[in-house]
Amino acid sequence: MLFSLIKNEIIIEVKSSFNLFYISFFALSSLILLFFSMPLTFLNDPNILSSFFWIIISFSSIKVVENSFAREKEFGIYDLIYSSPVYGHLFFLSKLLVFTFVLLIIEFLIFLFYSLLNPMISISDLTILFPLFLISNISIISLAIIIYLITSSERIKSFLFPLIFFPLLTPILINSSRIFTNTYIDDNISNLPSIMILLSYSLISVILGVQFFSTLIKK
């Protein structure tokens, strides 16, 4: 059933009015803004490149999650999907996997742009950074889904989604950025405390999502 749900999410994502294109366009626009707003020497600073990278990813994650639920709510298929006999946690996992993949595509595009911008960054670094992207994306998306569902309930105003999401996201962004910078300098992933924090975050957020998705969706 999980594969079937993943297939459904992909079909909806692909056929939804260039959704992926809009998000990629947003990511690239932010990069171009960075390129034109900073002196060229700053663009060699791994800290700046890394922080921009994760800020763009966090904004993109909000759009990916919001668009997905908005599509389901727009023409009212939401009730039909979530009243089906499928277990709630399978919906959560299917969304998590598909959106993680969407973020990976965006990360690849940003990285491609970085490699054009800075000769010290090469595409081959992607293989080293792939586990970091994967773990960070899982944490970010799980958290985004949980916070979106909490803030989209009848009693809470939806503008609170980014307001609650960003403070909770900060530890993920700081540690992802730290690992990203270290990798840029040392050419390998070597920051154990940050890796452990990221792993704990992703594990906790996935467990919370699996446990509470069904309850939150009915609110």
Nearer to another protein, 12 or 43 (CB): 12
CA distances from 53 to 91, 184, 194 (A): 28, 13, 17
Nearest CA among 163, 109, 103, 93 for reference residue 136: 103
- Contact residues toward another protein (CB under 8 A) are 4-5, 7-8, 11-12, 15-17, 71-72, 74-77, 79-86, 154, 215, 218-219
**CB 9, min distance to another protein, A:** 9
**CB of 165: closest distance to another protein in angstroms?**
24
Structure tokens at 102: 């969407």
Please state the closest distance from residue 216 (CB atom) to another protein, in A. Answer: 10
Give the C-alpha separation, 48 to 35, whole Å: 11
CB 72, min distance to another protein, A: 7
- Cα–Cα distance, 178 to 75 (Å, whole number): 42
- Specify the residue, 1 or 120, whose C-beta has the smaller distance to another protein: 1
Query: Alpha-carbon distance 178 to 182, whole Å?
Result: 6
CB of 91 to another protein, least distance (A): 9
Instruction: Give me the count of residues in the chain.
Output: 219
Our CB check for another protein shows the closer of 18 and 42 to be 18
Q: Which is nearer to another protein, 30 or 214 (CB)?
A: 214
Which residue type sits at 142?
S
By C-beta, is 87 or 166 nearer to another protein? 87
Contact 49, 119 (CB under 8 A): no
Task: Report how far residue 50's alpha carbon sits from residue 219's, in angstroms, rounded to the nearest whole number.
Answer: 37
